[in-house]
Every structure is written in structure tokens, then in C-alpha cells.
């Protein structure tokens, strides 16, 4: 026969390969078991990067001899008892696979004692086979001492990296748990040297001060939004404090560290107008959600989850971070180039008092608005189809904007603001209550136009313009398929008229008049590809995201250029309109609009302090 029944140990080794990938996987699973057991102190003793030895000791509730002998078998657990429990999981572990997988591919000694036992018990296992069971002295809790990981799976051992790399991954694991459980004491020792010693703290900010720096902890912004069934809380960095990658972005769902591309996308959208593409903020975000609304049983290592209403979760996350960023209103300070440490200090720089504005929509309102858009009840009305035959709307828009500024009556700002003049035809100097602001007139005007475009789109005033000469656009086949599937959405929701000509060829015939520009074919193609990126990442993309993708690019093209002298009343009106925008501190592409120099800093420079 060609079909054979595999030996039980072979089956267990295959299963272990799904759960235990490297020493860090062992650390993760054992820490999860300790936390589920109610531990308040967890210690890790590592030798040789974890391959030679990895020991995890906790002060949790411990196990009796009977429970311990069952725990090392596959699919034995105290955390669920029925199929229904899978949809209401409140623990980190639940499958009953981790401990069995660990002992199958290592030489392990487990010592445990519960309150129900007069003495502890010690079990020695090698390659899944129990070698001995004996009494042992121990305070309440459990110690799992793992030696020679993958000793009986040499092929897997070859894939391990250097000891330094493997230990780095263990440190990352401990760091994640320390962030998620600041009330637990974590201690990590490597080759007899203490690497981490994190006593319990009262809140997340104190833990971050231990793991990073007190400066970073102070600079982080509080995130806290609650709607029925979902709470989003945590800390995020302001736009002035960034990294070149996402390695310091931590997302937790019900206390479990996860990776989720949809939530990452929501985070990126929240920072979209504040950061450039190669900048990433620090994120320490916790989502607490009804366990019945999230499936954690979709990944062998439980590193991914599936939400019942992913768009709703995305909306709440984005709203929460956006609220934190806009409430901070951090303005970069004018000083020498920012080193990483100075960049942290910049977060404590001058803050402007924003103008009062209407209360933002709640996450629930955002969610219901997105649901309405999914039913074709979006903010844009596709029945508005007036054709405007002007071939050069961009220049007309620019001229009309400048003319409106010139004709505007001289409006005095609040007493705390005064226009001082213009520097090199590019920067507007503004005296403020706390010092001096230098405003880049191009990006300021870009922000004003950008928000005007969005307001017109929200008010259902989209007017389609028929292109005098239709534009042929070529798309790669994968993107062509995506574009073809969303032609109706683009037509009805955004006023973009595109016909599929076959294969990867499309004909662009209509474009929103408010966004019309004298672009080349490649510029139109690039803009449509950006819209497709939004469609690709969101099952039901909000109109706001699609509109922003279009408006940001055109606002930059239409804004008043640098080296353009402005009259005093024009500068006054420009600053006045800037102060009335939702975000007067950065352009839609993340560039700063305002640099601030406090009076205190000026006095220090002149030796007055």
C-alpha cells in the first residue's frame, strides 16, 4: 500500500514544526501558559541563544502530578471544554499543543506545585517520552527547563540563525509581553547575565520608560476611544518622532500580540498627512473587543486574528489615532538638524492653541457612514454630471484663488497674531503670543486647497469634466483586474469615467472637474494606481480615503508657488484660512507647514536668560 499511518512521534514532530519555529517560539508559548496561570513574576534563563537551554519559571497556580502528565500530551487543555468555547476565548492559549510540541523536540524537565499539593512534582521528558516522575521541592508555580531544542530534528536545527539573532528574537518576545502586561514582573537572563529586569508598573508609559527612554515615554500621545463592543487605547508617537521601519509598532488584541495588515493600513492612513512614506511612528496599541467578534484560531502560532467586522475596527483605530494627533498639535521647533534624541525633545516644543471647530464624527458615525457607502448611499452624488469644457482648469483655479485673496478685505487676526512680512517670497513671518512662526506659503495654500476639495466632495458637488482627448492607460494584468472590478465604483462614487478596452488597456474619458489638472498620461495613471491601492487594502473603502488620495496630489499642483511675492492682505487671508483648517501643521504629503521659535528660545540665544 502507498498510503500509510504515520508513527505517533512523527505526527507530533510535524505538528511541533507548526508551533515551534525557533527558541523564541518556546519562550512565547511558555510565557503565555504562565500568564494564563495567573503569574505575577516570570523569569527566563537562556543559554546559547535558547538552543542550548531556555528555562521559564513562574509563580502561577501550578499543576498537580495528574494535570502535569496530561498537559504534556497533545490536545489537552484546561482552557476550553467545548466547541462553543472556541468562539469565546479569553485566554492566550487554548489548543493544548504548545507544551506537547516543546517536549517532543527537546529534552525537558518540568517542575510544578499547586496549592492543592503538599509537595511539588518533577517530570523529565526526552523527545516526547517520559523518563521519570518524582517529588520535588518548589514554591507554588511552574518551571519548564528546555534543553537541546531540536536535538532529534537536525533538519530544523540547521535553519536556526546565530545565537545572537535567536536571542534577539527572544528579547522581542519578552518585550511584547512586558508591554501587554505591565503589572507582571519580567526578568530575562542570558548566559548568566541579566539583560532585562522589568518590575511591575502601574501603567504602560512607565513600562515604556523602562524599555526605551523616559524622554520617549513622556513624548508619546494618549490614545483612548470607546464604542459599544470595542475599546482602543494605548500610546503613539507624534509626527516628530519616527523610525525608518515598523519594528517598533506593537498591536495587541485582547492582550495578544498580533500582526494585522488591515490595522496597519488604518494606522498608516491616520498618519498619512503627517509623515512621509519612509517614516514610521512608534505604536503601542491595544484593542479590546468582544471575544465573539474576533477569531484567534486562524494561525498555528496565533499571530493573526480575523475580525467579524474588520472595517468597523479599522475605522475605530484610525479615528482614535487621528484624535490623538490632532489634539496634540505639535509644531516642529526651528533649531539645528534633529538627531534622534533631539527629535524626541521636539515633541515637547511649542504648541499652538487651535481654533475651535465642529466636533468630529464619532467612530460609530464613521462606521455607519461606511456602511451606507457600501450600499451605494455615499457622500458623492453620481447624478451630478455637468460637463465643463475648460482645458486648463488648474490655471483658472490658481488665478481665481489668488484673485480672491487680493480682493479679500483686510481682516485682522486675533491680537496674539500679527503678520511681520515675507521672507524670500516663500515664507510668511507671523508674530505669535509665544514667539515667532515661519509659515511655508506653498504648503499652507496646499493644505487650504486640499481641505476645500474634500469639502466639495462631501457636499455632493462633484462636477465631471469630459476630457477633450481621452487618455489611454495601460495597467499590469493584476492591477487591470482590480481596476476592471471597480470601474462602477470609480464612476458613481468619484466621478471618474473609465472604459475597459481589453487586457490591460483602459480609456479615461471623465475626471472630476474640481480635481482637473494639465497632467501627463503617466500622472493620471499614477493617481489611479493610488486609488487602486486604497481599494485593494479595504473591503469597503471609505469615500474619505478615496477622495483624499485624489485631492492631495492636485492640491500640491494648484497651490501658490514659492518665490511668489504676496501683498500683506493676501498673507493675512492665507494665514487666517490656514488657522481654520483641520490640520494647519502639515501638508497632505507630510511636509511641515509651520516652524515655531519660542520667545524663551530667542531670549536664550541673545543671552537674556
Categorize the per-residue pLDDT at 305 as very low, low, confident or very high, splitting at 50, 70 and 90.
Answer: confident
**CATH classification of the domain holding 469:** 3.30.1540.20
Q: How far apart are CA 45 and CA 55, in angstroms?
A: 5
Residue 363 has pLDDT above 70, yes or no: no
Residue 192 has pLDDT above 80, yes or no: yes
Categorize the per-residue pLDDT at 50 as very low, low, confident or very high, splitting at 50, 70 and 90.
Answer: very high
**CATH classification of the domain holding 102:** 3.30.565.10
62-89 pLDDT, tens per residue?
Answer: 999 999 999 898 877 776 556 665 666 6
Q: How far apart are CA 104 and CA 97, in angstroms?
A: 11
Tell whether 428 and 571 lie within a shared domain: yes
Residue 44, by phi and psi: left (phi above 0), alpha (psi -120 to 50) or beta?
A: beta
pLDDT at 355: 36
Q: How far apart are CA 538 and CA 550, in angstroms?
A: 16
Q: What is the mean pLDDT of the chain?
A: 78
Confirm whether 351 is domain-assigned.
no
Tell whether 219 and 142 lie within a shared domain: no
Q: How far apart are CA 87 and CA 83, in angstroms?
A: 8
Whether 131 contacts 124, CB under 8 Å: yes
Confirm whether 368 is domain-assigned.
no
Confirm whether 370 is domain-assigned.
no
Tell whether 335 and 384 lie within a shared domain: no
Tell whether 147 and 246 lie within a shared domain: no
Beta bridge partners of 421: 429
- Provide CB contacts within 8 A for 399, sequence distance 6+: none
Tell whether 391 and 298 lie within a shared domain: no
Q: Which of 118-127, 175-184, 402-411 has the lowest mean pLDDT?
A: 402-411
Beta bridge partners of 187: 43, 197
Beta bridge partners of 257: 252
Q: How far apart are CA 578 and CA 446, in angstroms?
A: 10
* Mean predicted confidence (pLDDT) in 154-163: 86
Categorize the per-residue pLDDT at 365 as very low, low, confident or very high, splitting at 50, 70 and 90.
Answer: very low
Tell whether 308 and 403 lie within a shared domain: no
The domain boundary, picked from 346, 372, 399, lies at 346
Tell whether 557 and 508 lie within a shared domain: yes
pLDDT at 340: 39
Tell whether 576 and 452 lie within a shared domain: yes
Q: Tell me which of 48 and 341 has the higher pLDDT.
A: 48
Tell whether 99 and 241 lie within a shared domain: no
Domains held by the chain: number: 3
What's the distance, Cα to Cα, between the start and end of the chain in Å?
Answer: 91
Confirm whether 363 is domain-assigned.
no
Categorize the per-residue pLDDT at 394 as very low, low, confident or very high, splitting at 50, 70 and 90.
Answer: very low
Closest Cα to residue 544, out of 433, 431, 458?
Answer: 458
pLDDT at 173: 94
The domain boundary, picked from 199, 225, 240, lies at 199
Domain that holds residue 299: 205-346
528-560 pLDDT, tens per residue?
Answer: 877 777 666 554 556 666 666 666 766 676 667
Categorize the per-residue pLDDT at 221 as very low, low, confident or very high, splitting at 50, 70 and 90.
Answer: very high
Confirm whether 122 is domain-assigned.
yes
pLDDT at 375: 34
Confirm whether 367 is domain-assigned.
no
Give me the residue label for grid cell 521636539.
Answer: 346
For the chain, give the percent of residues with pLDDT over 70: 72
Confirm whether 603 is domain-assigned.
no
pLDDT at 348: 35
* Mean predicted confidence (pLDDT) in 267-274: 83
Four-point Cα dihedral 362, 363, 367, 372, nearest 10:
10
Confirm whether 360 is domain-assigned.
no
Tell whether 471 and 557 lie within a shared domain: yes
Residue 368 has pLDDT above 60, yes or no: no
Closest Cα to residue 114, out of 144, 138, 146, 80?
Answer: 138
Tell whether 161 and 231 lie within a shared domain: no
Tell whether 184 and 264 lie within a shared domain: no
The domain boundary, picked from 148, 180, 199, lies at 199
* Mean predicted confidence (pLDDT) in 224-250: 90
Amino acid at each position: 500500500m502507498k498510503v500509510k499511518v504515520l508513527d505517533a512521534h512523527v505526527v507530533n514532530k510535524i505538528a511541533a514544526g507548526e508551533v515551534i519555529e525557533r527558541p523564541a517560539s518556546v519562550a512565547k508559548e511558555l510565557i503565555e501558559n504562565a500568564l494564563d496561570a495567573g503569574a505575577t513574576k516570570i523569569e527566563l534563563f537562556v543559554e546559547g541563544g535558547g538552543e542550548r537551554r531556555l528555562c521559564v519559571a513562574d509563580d502561577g497556580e501550578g499543576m498537580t502530578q495528574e494535570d502535569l502528565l496530561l498537559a504534556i500530551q497533545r490536545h489537552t487543555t484546561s482552557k476550553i471544554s467545548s466547541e462553543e468555547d472556541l468562539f469565546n476565548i479569553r485566554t492566550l492559549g487554548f489548543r493544548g499543543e504548545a507544551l506537547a510540541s516543546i517536549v517532543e523536540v527537546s529534552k525537558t524537565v518540568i517542575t510544578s506545585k499547586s496549592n492543592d499539593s503538599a509537595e511539588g512534582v518533577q517530570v523529565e521528558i526526552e523527545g516526547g517520552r517520559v523518563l521519570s516522575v518524582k517529588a520535588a521541592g518548589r514554591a507554588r508555580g511552574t518551571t519548564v527547563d528546555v534543553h537541546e531544542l531540536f536535538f532529534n530534528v537536525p533538519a530544523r536545527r540547521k535553519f536556526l540563525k546565530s545565537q545572537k539573532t535567536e536571542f534577539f528574537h527572544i528579547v522581542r518576545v519578552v518585550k511584547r509581553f512586558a508591554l501587554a502586561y505591565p503589572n507582571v514582573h519580567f526578568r530575562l537572563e542570558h548566559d548568566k547575565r541579566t539583560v532585562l529586569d522589568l518590575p511591575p508598573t502601574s501603567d504602560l508609559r512607565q513600562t515604556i520608560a523602562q524599555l526605551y527612554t523616559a524622554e520617549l515615554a513622556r513624548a508619546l500621545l494618549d490614545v483612548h476611544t470607546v464604542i459599544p463592543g470595542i475599546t482602543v487605547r494605548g500610546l503613539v508617537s507624534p509626527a516628530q518622532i519616527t523610525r525608518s521601519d515598523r519594528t517598533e509598532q506593537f498591536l495587541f488584541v485582547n492582550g495578544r500580540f498580533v500582526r494585522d495588515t488591515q490595522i496597519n493600513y488604518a494606522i498608516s492612513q491616520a498618519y498619512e498627512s503627517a509623515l512621509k512614506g519612509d517614516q514610521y511612528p512608534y505604536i503601542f496599541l491595544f484593542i479590546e473587543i468582544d471575544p465573539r467578534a474576533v477569531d484567534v484560531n486562524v494561525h498555528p502560532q496565533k499571530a493573526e486574528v480575523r475580525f467579524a467586522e474588520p472595517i468597523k475596527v479599522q475605522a475605530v483605530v484610525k479615528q482614535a489615532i487621528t484624535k490623538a494627533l490632532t489634539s496634540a498639535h505639535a509644531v516642529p521647533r526651528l533649531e539645528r538638524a534633529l538627531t534622534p534624541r533631539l527629535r524626541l525633545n521636539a515633541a515637547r516644543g511649542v504648541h499652538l492653541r487651535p481654533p475651535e471647530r465642529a466636533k468630529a464624527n464619532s467612530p460609530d458615525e464613521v462606521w455607519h457612514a461606511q456602511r451606507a457607502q457600501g450600499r451605494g448611499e455615499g457622500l458623492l452624488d453620481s447624478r451630478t454630471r455637468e460637463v465643463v469644457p475648460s482645458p486648463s482648469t488648474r490655471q483658472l483655479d490658481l488665478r481665481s484663488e489668488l484673485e480672491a485673496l487680493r480682493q479679500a478685505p483686510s481682516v485682522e487676526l486675533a491680537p496674539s497674531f500679527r503678520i511681520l512680512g515675507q521672507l524670500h517670497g516663500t515664507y510668511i513671518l507671523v508674530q505669535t503670543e509665544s514667539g515667532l512662526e515661519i509659515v511655508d506659503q506653498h504648503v499652507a495654500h496646499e493644505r487650504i486647497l486640499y481641505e476645500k476639495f474634500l469639502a466639495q466632495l462631501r457636499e455632493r458637488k462633484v462636477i465631471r469634466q469630459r476630457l477633450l482627448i481621452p487618455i489611454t492607460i495601460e495597467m499590469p494584468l493584476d492591477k487591470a483586474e482590480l481596476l476592471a472590478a471597480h470601474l462602477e465604483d470609480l464612476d458613481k462614487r468619484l466621478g471618474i469615467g473609465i472604459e475597459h478596452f481589453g487586457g490591460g488597456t483602459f480609456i479615461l474619458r471623465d475626471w472630476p472637474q474640481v480635481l482637473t489638472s494639465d497632467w501627463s498620461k503617466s500622472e493620471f495613471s499614477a493617481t489611479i494606481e493610488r486609488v487602486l491601492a486604497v481599494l485593494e487594502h479595504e473591503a469597503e473603502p471609505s469615500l474619505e480615503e478615496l477622495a483624499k488620495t485624489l485631492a492631495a496630489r492636485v492640491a500640491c499642483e494648484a497651490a501658490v508657488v514659492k518665490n511668489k511675492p504676496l501683498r500683506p492682505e493676501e498673507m493675512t487671508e492665507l494665514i487666517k484660512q490656514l488657522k481654520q483648517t483641520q490640520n494647519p501643521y502639515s501638508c497632505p504629503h507630510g511636509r511641515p507647514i509651520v516652524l515655531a521659535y519660542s520667545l524663551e528660545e530667542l531670549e536664550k540665544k541673545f543671552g537674556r536668560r
